[in-house]
Amino acid sequence: MSRADLILKLTVGKDKRTVEPVETGGRISYFFRTYSANLKKILPINLIYAAIFALPLVFSFMVLPMLVSNYVYSGKNFIGNFGIGFPNIADSYIDAVNYLHYIRRILVFPCMIGSAFIAFFGLSGLFHCSRGLMWGEKVKIKSFFRGIKKLWKPFIVLDCGFSIVLAAFLYGLDWHTCLLNTTGATWASYLVSIIVGIVAALTVILLMITLPSIACYDFKLVDHIKNSVLFICVMPIQSVFVAAFTVGLLAISLVSPYISMVIGFLLIMSGFMFFTMMWTTYGQYLFDNYICTQVDKDGNRMEVKIQKKTKNNTTEYTASKGNSRKAEKVKNNNYNTQTTSNNSNNQKKKKPQNTYSSSYKRKPSNNKKK
């Protein structure tokens, strides 16, 4: 399936913006300009979100693992006797590691999953504010609570799926690292860790586009997810890069406990809005280029021409729709195909069975004799 076919399968419609589109220029520079210009609005909104929803998340991911490790390893002697003086009794390193992973499974991971569920629910308000700031709308503190009121239903559904993926990732990776540090990892543990890692990465990329889409459009949740999958297929490298950049910034906290505390402080101050606005910027870049170009001011699908140029010919896809705001599935047997041959002027036409139409045109070859 070509890239043009994927674009024509997008569910399209009018977005929720209440102001005229602004001139963004470069998306990266526009993101930083908007973030710095609205920092006075971002700080209180981020602090309210952190106080209500995110403090347990920061504690569970950045403080609690350090406290558990200190508790398990404090007072342990893994060296034993040096051969001088009275002999010392060495503690078993394997027993200590097994006990550490045991506490993680019964205490740390449930706290992480529960706090992530609460924090994810509050993201509905942050994405509502982020989409307004990136569109140039007036955003106040009450906009945060208005966003939760409007968007909590689809966010709860995605929150449940995200919690399941997070639980599988944490427990699967913990099982592998426990074996790796004690008796030795097996092929099964390697396979499980790779699978849960891939699923977690795909989930992050999917949410990176789906959450801004929910804030910007009134589609059904299935259509939001479908559009996100299509966008990932259309822009795979860019989507992976933005997701990797997000995860990489958060992964710096694993370097040392001090860096983890600094990143936790930055998240509480304005970091959560930083990431939601970054994801919203990328999502609106996709929406403006592939959805807004297919609809008119009333949200009706217009006739769209997408050209795919090759070395010897040009393929042109045309899609037109009536007054419906949602695109229906395009079937191959419903196309109105027109072919212009180099050797003949005959045209073959098929009567379209629905309101969609598509044309395929081939440029004359450059090797034609003069």
Examine the pLDDT at 188 and tell me if it is beyond 80: yes
In a shared domain, residues 307 and 348: yes
Q: What is the reported pLDDT for 78?
A: 61
Beta bridge partner(s), residue 319: 304
Is 137 part of a structural domain of the chain?
yes
Q: How many CB atoms lie within 10 A of CB 196?
A: 21
* Least confident stretch, 3-17, 67-81, 93-107, 259-273: 67-81
pLDDT at residue 280 greater than cutoff 80: yes
**How confident is the model over 51-73, as a mean pLDDT?**
92
For residue 134, give the nearest of 79, 215, 243, 225 by alpha carbon: 215
Domain shared by 343 and 239, yes or no: no
In this structure, the answer to whether residues 124 and 158 fall within a common structural domain is yes
- In angstroms, the CA 221 to CA 215 distance is 11
Domain shared by 26 and 151, yes or no: yes
Query: Is residue 51 included in any domain, yes or no?
Result: yes
Establish if 234 belongs to a structural domain: yes
Q: Which residues on neighbouring strands pair with residue 314, listed in sequence order?
A: 309
| pLDDT over threshold 80, residue 363 | no
Q: Measure the CA–CA gap between 14 and 296, rounded to whole angstroms.
A: 8
Pair 257, 326 in one domain: no
| End residue of a domain, out of 265, 294, 323 | 294
Across 244-267, average pLDDT: 90
- State the Cα–Cα distance between residues 358 and 333, nearest whole angstrom: 11
33 contacts: CB under 8 Å, gap ≥ 6? none
Residues 327 and 285 in one domain: no
> With 80 as the cut, is the pLDDT of residue 350 above it?
no
Please report the pLDDT score of residue 368 as a whole number: 43
The average confidence (pLDDT) of the chain is 82
Instruction: Look at residue 253 in the predicted model and tell me its pLDDT.
Output: 85
Residue 3 domain flag: no
At 306-328, the pLDDT tens digits run 665 555 555 555 554 433 333 33
Q: Is the domain of 213 the same as that of 360?
A: no
pLDDT at residue 77 in the model: 64
- Tell me: do 211 and 72 sit in the same domain: yes
The string over 140-156, giving b where at least 16 C-beta atoms fall within 10 Å of a residue's C-beta and e elsewhere, is eeebbeebbebbeebbe
How far is the CA of 235 from the CAs of 88, 205, 227, 229, in angstroms? 61, 11, 12, 10
71 belongs to a structural domain = yes
Instruction: Write down which residue in 261, 279, 294 finishes a domain.
Output: 294
Which of 186-200, 261-275, 293-307, 315-329 has the least mean pLDDT?
315-329
Domains contained in the chain, number: 2
Mean pLDDT within 291-295: 88
Q: Tell me which of 242 and 184 has the higher pLDDT.
A: 242
Residue 269 lies in a domain: yes
What distance in Å separates the CA atoms of residue 255 and residue 251, rounded to the nearest whole number? 8
Contact between residue 134 and residue 281 where contact means Cβ atoms under 8 Å apart:
yes
CA–CA distance, 353 with 334 (Å, rounded to integer): 5
What are the φ and ψ backbone dihedral angles of 217, each rounded to 5 degrees? -135, 160
| Residue 315 forms part of a structural domain | yes
Over range 191-208, report the average pLDDT: 95
- Residue 84 is predicted with a pLDDT of 54
Residue 294's pLDDT band (cuts 50, 70, 90): confident
> Does residue 2 form part of some domain?
no
Q: What is the pLDDT of residues 30-54, one digit of tens each?
A: 999 999 999 999 999 999 999 999 9
- Do 108 and 224 share a structural domain? yes
Q: Which residue has the higher pLDDT, 329 or 169?
A: 169
Domain that holds residue 314: 297-370
Assess whether 357 and 235 both reside in one domain: no
Domain boundary residue among 294, 324, 343? 294
Q: What is residue 80's predicted lDDT score, i.e. its pLDDT?
A: 55
pLDDT tens for residues 82-127?
A: 555 555 566 677 888 889 999 999 999 999 999 999 999 999 999 9
pLDDT digits (tens, 9 = 90+) for 137-148: 999 999 999 999
The most confident of the ranges 78-92, 172-186, 326-340 is 172-186
Q: Examine the pLDDT at 329 and tell me if it is beyond 60.
A: no
pLDDT at 183: 78
- Rounded to an integer, what distance in angstroms lies between the CA atom of residue 367 and that of residue 270? 62
Give the model's pLDDT for residue 161. Answer: 95
Shared-domain flag, residues 282 and 304: no
Q: Which pLDDT value is given to residue 349?
A: 42
Check whether residue 313 and residue 272 sit in a common domain: no
Does 333 or 304 have the greater pLDDT score?
304
The closest of 228, 172, 230 to 205, measured between CA atoms, is 228
Q: Dihedral sign, CA of 287, 293, 299, 303?
A: negative
